């Protein structure tokens, strides 16, 4: 599904070039659950942003679903975001002025789904994550774990093929973190491709495959035996 070849990402300052990513070669197949680990500043988030089409590499090739996705027009990129890729964030990034229900509904509105269909789709997810009772609350009224559940619900409502999670458990204590990781595992079992950046060794183990980044390079790439 994802094919990265010789991806570099660097910043030029006056006297030197600082590499964030260097010569990354990575292939991710459909249905994989990939954990990306590494210390701060190793380029994990940048890699995720490049995969998520939010940042572009300085050089290299990127094929997504067989198509080159470098230098896309806004319209095409927006299309990928509407239908193919979705995100979960460490800080949840729910919109404060919107209720749980409305937050989950947002992507569908941009996708142009009819109001009637939206209703049943959101209801299904609320039901699935057991947050029906919370649907009219605002994000600030929820616990961190609940907020992240809403974040996941929002991410998957448009049925994306690829889910990118940037430290989704970073702000949560371990029980809540486990619940989130279980949810992601379940989604992966249903066939969703997931790439997940984390610091946490234990949570990394939920992935079927783990890569470790150091100074912009992939140091190790291991498949976990199941």
CA distance 203 to 188: 15
Q: Angle, nearest 10°, between helix axes 144-156 and 115-128? A: 140
CB of 43 to other proteins, least distance (A): 13
Residues 179-208 that bind other proteins (CB under 8 A): none
Name which position in 109, 141, 143, 220 contacts other proteins (CB under 8 A).
109
Q: Does 111 bind other proteins (CB under 8 A)?
A: yes
> CA–CA distance from 82 to each of 41, 102, 187, 200, 217 (Å)?
29, 17, 18, 30, 31
Site residues for other proteins, 39-98, by CB under 8 A, read 45, 49, 54-55, 74-75, 78-79, 81-83, 86-87, 89, 91, 93-98
Closer residue to other proteins in complex, CB, 82/208: 82
Task: Give 32 or 166: the residue with its C-beta nearer to other proteins.
Answer: 166
Instruction: State which residue, 82 or 199, has the beta carbon closest to other proteins.
Output: 82
Chain residues binding other proteins by CB under 8 A are 45, 49, 54-55, 74-75, 78-79, 81-83, 86-87, 89, 91, 93-98, 102, 105-107, 109-111, 154, 158, 166
């Amino acid at each position: 599904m994802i094919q990265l070849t010789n991806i570099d990402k660097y910043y030029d300052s006056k006297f030197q070039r600082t590499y964030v990513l260097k010569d990354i070669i990575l292939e991710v197949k459909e249905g994989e659950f990939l954990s990306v680990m590494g210390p701060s500043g190793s380029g994990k988030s940048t890699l995720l942003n490049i995969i998520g089409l939010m940042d572009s590499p300085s050089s290299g090739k990127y094929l997504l679903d067989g198509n080159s996705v470098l230098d896309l027009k806004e319209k095409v990129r927006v299309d990928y975001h509407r239908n193919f890729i979705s995100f979960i964030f460490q800080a949840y990034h729910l919109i404060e002025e919107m209720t749980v229900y409305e937050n989950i509904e947002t992507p569908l509105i941009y996708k142009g789904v009819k109001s009637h269909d939206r209703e049943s789709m959101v209801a299904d997810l609320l039901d699935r994550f057991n947050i029906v009772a919370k649907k009219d609350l605002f994000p600030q009224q929820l616990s961190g774990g609940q907020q992240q559940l809403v974040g996941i619900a929002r991410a998957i409502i448009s049925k994306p093929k690829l889910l990118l999670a940037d430290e989704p458990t970073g702000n949560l204590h371990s029980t809540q973190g486990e619940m989130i990781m279980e949810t992601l595992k379940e989604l992966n079992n249903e066939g969703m491709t997931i790439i997940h950046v984390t610091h946490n060794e234990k949570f990394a183990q939920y992935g079927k495959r783990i890569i470790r980044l150091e100074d912009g390079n992939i140091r190790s790439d291991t498949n976990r035996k199941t």
